[in-house]
Amino acid sequence: MLRTLLIITVCLTSYADCLAADYGKTTAHRIADGVYLFTTTPYADVGFCGNAVAIVGGDGVLVFDSGSTPETAQNILAEIRKLTDKPVRYLVNSHWHWDHWGGNQVFLEANPRLQIISHAKNMEMMSTVEPRWNEHGLKEDLPQFLDDFEKQVAAAKAKGVPDERTKSAEQRLAVGRNFLKQKQSLRKTLPNVTFSDSITLYMGGREIRVLHARAITPGDTYIYLPAEKILVTGDILLDPYPYAIGGTYPAEWLATLKQFAAMKPAWVIPGHGEAQQGDALVRANIQLFEAVLARVKDAKTTGLNEAQAIEAAGKQASELGALVGVKDAAGAEAFKGYFLDVFVKRALREMNAPLGDLPDGLPGTQ
């Protein structure tokens, strides 16, 4: 099995619909004056890319997250260069998951005086936990997956499967090979500025608050522009539904969402997916978290064990997923796997004892 962050994503439409040009493609979106979101489509079957955001200030640019690979970061930087010639002075990393800081080196190469800012706990997780989390997938699972994929394509061609389908599979294979090459060759570039509570930057009169929460990871770093009421959340919020594999701190995550709601944001830019006006995404997630936590509390009261609590909540995956817009059975299944099962488990544990920093499933841990 590929480890969590090397998720195999299966193209839900036909092979022919998934053109190579759509894989790992970065698109710029203007959110407000001097605030841009860069979304990147998945790398075919082998990985996702977190959103990046650029905020143009008086004398430079702040970038929030650097994408999954150096190549994607180059594309993001090229898009920024179309918008402004001001240097990128700050790069903020939201958390340790590799789809959010794999492009750090590109921004440091472009400006050797770059300040890479993140919470001190992220620095620790990036240098100690991230390698352990991804190493096996990078060295063994992903190469094996690609070798098997290559064999399947060769076998399909030998059997006379139409060229149109094998060509598309070959394109996806090439995207996978390139992704692996990018991940294997990148130079891990850690933050050079850490904080423990918050940092406020003033860029030509633009106030940018860099803040900390313990939500999906222990070091979640997010930013808020108070004048514009723009909230950039990293993976504390995702569109379409939250992702909880590995870590998550259910009670503090919910408390963070309530803080977000209190900010009454005009725009919310999640860690994946499109930017949204208003706080609807925040409110939907609060509803979901409260509903799940109520079920976990009931499970604890009735004495269910972890597996039973997960099973009981899982039966309501469609109903719970619908709170954040999950519409069909396939979506509910994914929602259950990526969020519900882990969240329920962590929430139940949290009701019994404080959660530690290490994610569940980390090799070498229980």
Which positions lie near Zn ion, rule CB under 5 A?
Answer: 50, 99, 235, 271
From residue 67, how far is each of 12, 38, 262 by CA, in Å? Answer: 23, 9, 29
SS3 98: coil
DSSP string for 187-233? -----SEEESSEEEEEETTEEEEEEE--SSSTT-EEEEETTTTEEEE
Nearer to Zn ion, 67 or 265 (CB): 67
Question: Hey, what amino acid is at 163?
Answer: D
Closest separation between CB of residue 50 and Zn ion, Å? Answer: 4
Q: Least CB distance from residue 48 to Zn ion, whole Å?
A: 6
Quote the least distance from Cβ 349 to Zn ion, whole Å.
23
Cα–Cα dist 176/182, whole Å: 10
The rounded distance, in Å, linking the Cα atoms of 156 and 327 is 34
- The residue (of 45 and 99) whose beta carbon lies closer to Zn ion is 99
Our CB check for Zn ion shows the closer of 234 and 250 to be 234
CB 22 within 8 A of CB 47: no
Q: Identify any residues that bridge with 224 across adjacent strands, giving them in sequence order.
A: 209, 231
Minimum distance of Zn ion from residue 72's CB (angstroms): 13
- Residue 49: CB minimum distance to Zn ion, A: 8
For residue 362, what are its two tokens?
Answer: 């980390």
Task: Choose between 42 and 60: whose C-beta lies nearer to Zn ion.
Answer: 42
- Nearest CB to Zn ion, comparing residues 131 and 162: 131
Give least dist CB 271 to Zn ion, A. Answer: 5
What's the rounded Cα separation, in Å, for the pair 308 and 257? 27
How many Å apart are CA 110 and CA 214, to the nearest integer? Answer: 31
Nearer to Zn ion, 220 or 228 (CB): 220
Residue found by looking up tokens 């004398």 in the block: 59
Half-sphere exposure of 88 (CA within 13 A, CB side): 31
Residue closer to Zn ion (CB basis): 100 or 206: 100
Handedness of CA 181, 182, 187, 188 (dihedral sign): negative
Select 199 or 236, whichever has its Cβ closest to Zn ion: 236
Q: Least distance to Zn ion from the beta carbon of 99, Å?
A: 4
In this structure, what token pair is assigned to residue 301? 């009261």
CB of 16 to Zn ion, least distance (A): 28
The residue number whose beta carbon is nearest to Zn ion equals 50
The burial of 16, by beta-carbon neighbours within 10 Å (0-12 exposed, 13-18 middle, 19 or more buried), is given as exposed
